[in-house]
Amino acid sequence: MDLSAFPYLQGNYAPVSEERDLAEAELRVEGEIPKKLRGAFMRDGANVAFQPNHYVYPLDGDGMVHAVYFKDGHVEYKNRWVETSHLKTERQFGRTIYGSVGKLLEVPPEVIEAGGEPSPVRNTANTNVLYHGGKLLAMWEGGFPHLLNNDLSTVGLFDYDGALQPGDALTAHPKICPDSGDLVSCTQRWDSPNYTVQVFDKHARHKQSIQVEFPRKGIIHDLQITQNFIVIFYAPAFHSVEKAMRGEDPFEWQPELGTKIIVIPRDGVSPQMTFETEAFFSWHFCNGFERDGKIVIDYVWINSIPFTQAQGTGVEKQPRRMYRMTLDPKSRAVTNEQFSNVFCEFSRIDERLMGKDYRLGFATCTNRDWGDAHGYNCTGSFDFETGEVALWEYGPEANAGEPVHVPNPDSDREEDGWLMCYVHNPGEGPFLSIIQAGDVAAGPVAKVHIPGRVPNGFHANWMQDLTL
Ligand SMILES: [Fe+2]
């Protein structure tokens, strides 16, 4: 492959070509792995298998999951592509067939006649990997999730026993309610602007649908729950499949429309509320909760649509900051304030406090000027009680992934858990970093060094008690 034209396929963004199984003897553990850890840390990400025609970060690339399994203080590593129908078809023909989200390609008739995947839109399965209701799912917001086995082998598309209809696109960012165990998710469709909240119970059975109507399909990536509400951002960011098929820039940013905040009662009956504010974009919520009749939402703010749409050759320049928004349902007033000036992304929390008042947010951060390096070289914690931000820098050129909070099973305290993320530090190589959540500034208590390379990726989760 010649990847030289694509900034987001350089350095540690470049794909790996091998699927590997590494036993503990092939890994190098530095420090001490907490013996209480039993389960798996898994992270999804883009890993192109064939030469791309175009590459818009972070929307393109075949999904690959990298997993470190923990049991009794011991570790193992595996990585596997998600075996999507698009990837299998390209393997069958031994070449690139499908285009990019920014530049789609017509599927040749001989591919369809031979039983290949007919849709020109690749289900990348590259965005998130989640374990809920006994199902391990690789997720992408443009289609159905893929069901995986514990060893990362692919079972196939998963439609929640028929609850998902053909054309439904399930979000890659559902939230698990810590009280009920429900998965609060949503579907969107390519052929409709509307949005449907979908709730699945703790056994992954469909439980509830709530319709939200929009005049035009927006790019809505994440959702947040509070005790009584689901909150989404409807930014003036739009994508046109027709323009993508013509090879034109398919993304539009219309700041004059502002950003709307849609508040959806979880009872599915009470009236939905719309709040309006100046235009901003966001990929990710941190948390949300209700206090004194108001709704508080913490999230990563971006000043505009962050796509490097110019033929996939641009690099993102938009600043990103942790913000706290407060919504007053009585007056419909919105306050939207920057919490910190640290450049951050991929915000996470102790998910036992999802939708509840909390103290600590975590994110991948940078302490450098945001130039063409475009890397996150720190793990950060944001203390919403004291206002303090703590950073651990892995190295000036390092790239650190999304920090996942792994609860300490013997403690209810956020601070007593651990943060896990993959880090690539030039000169040191890739490792899984384990940091005490309450003392980020002290740096890793353990590192699991992985020979070879683990490319930069997207979302990760801890799968409690999932073992090989
Ligand atoms: Fe995301």
Give me the pLDDT at residue 373, please. 53
Judge whether residue 266 has pLDDT over 90.
yes
How far is the centre of ligand 1, averaged over its atoms, from the C-alpha of 306 (Å)?
13
pLDDT computed for residue 311 by the predictor:
47
How much of the chain exceeds pLDDT 90, in percent? 87
Q: Give the whole-angstrom CA distance, residue 380 versus residue 389.
A: 7
CB 390 within 8 A of CB 432: no
Name the pLDDT band for 97 (thresholds 50, 70, 90): very high
pLDDT tier for residue 308 given thresholds of 50, 70 and 90: low
Residue 117 placed within a domain: yes
Please give the average per-residue pLDDT across 458-467, as a whole number. 97
In the predicted model, what is the mean pLDDT of residues 257-263? 98
**Average pLDDT of the residues in 147-151:** 98
The pLDDT value given to residue 313:
58
pLDDT computed for residue 251 by the predictor: 84
Report which of residues 320 and 239 the model is more confident about.
320
Tell whether 173 is covered by a domain: yes
Q: In this structure, is residue 116 part of a structural domain?
A: yes
Q: How many angstroms separate the alpha carbon of residue 414 from the centre of ligand 1? A: 22
Q: What is the pTM of this model?
A: 0.96
pLDDT tens per residue, range 383-414 = 999 999 999 999 999 999 999 999 999 999 99
**Integer Cα distance of 47 and 125 in angstroms:** 11
State the average pLDDT over residues 132-149: 97
pLDDT at 312 over 60: no
Cα 235 to middle of ligand 1, angstroms: 15
CATH at 453:
2.120.10.30
Question: Which of 18, 174, 80, 46 has the alpha carbon at shortest distance from 458?
Answer: 46
The Å distance, Cα 223 to ligand 1 centre, comes to 10
Q: Is residue 2 part of a domain?
A: no
Task: Tell me which of 191 and 245 has the higher pLDDT.
Answer: 191
Which range is least confidently modeled, 247-251, 321-325, 443-447?
247-251
Distance CA 446, CA 408 (A): 15
Mean pLDDT of 148-158: 98
Is 80 part of a structural domain of the chain? yes
Is residue 270's pLDDT more than 70? yes
Distance CA 126, CA 457 (A): 8
Is 173 annotated to bind ligand?
Answer: yes
Structure tokens at 1: 């492959």
Cα(213) to centroid of ligand 1, in Å? 23
Percent of the chain with pLDDT over 70: 97
CA of 172 to the centre of ligand 1 (A): 7
Mean model confidence pLDDT for the chain: 94
User: Would you say 459 is a known binding-site residue?
Assistant: yes
Binding site annotation covers 86?
no
For residue 28, report the distance from its CA to the centre of ligand 1, in Å. 30
> pLDDT tens, 101-124?
878 899 999 999 999 999 999 999
Which helix (H) or strand (E) segment holds residue 96: the answer is: none
Encode pLDDT of 159-217 as tens digits. Answer: 999 999 999 999 999 999 999 999 999 999 988 999 999 999 999 999 999 999 999 99
- Whether 27 shows a pLDDT value over 80: the answer reads yes
Please give the C-alpha separations between residue 171 and each of 76, 115, 195, 223, 260, in angstroms, as whole numbers.
30, 28, 10, 9, 19
Structure token pair of residue 180 = 């009920």
Residue 282: give the domain boundaries. Answer: 7-464
Burial of residue 344 (CB within 10 Å: 0-12, 13-18, 19+) is buried
Residue 136 clears pLDDT 80, i.e. is over it? yes
pLDDT surpasses 80 at 461: yes
pLDDT above 70: residue 309: no
Q: pLDDT value at position 240?
A: 79
The pLDDT confidence band at residue 247, using thresholds 50, 70 and 90, is confident
**Tens-digit pLDDT profile for residues 65-95:** 999 999 999 999 999 999 999 999 999 999 9
| Ligand 1 centroid – CA 66 distance (Å) | 17
CA of 111 to the centre of ligand 1 (A): 32
pLDDT tens-digit series, residues 319-376 = 899 999 999 999 999 999 999 999 999 999 999 999 999 999 999 999 987 765 567 9
Report how many domains make up the chain.
1
The answer to whether residue 1 is domain-embedded is: no
Say if 416 falls within a structural domain. Answer: yes
Burial 125-144 (b: 16+ CB within 10 A, else e): bbbbbbbbbebbbbbbbbbb
Spatial distance between the Cα atoms of 403 and 212, rounded to a whole number of angstroms:
32
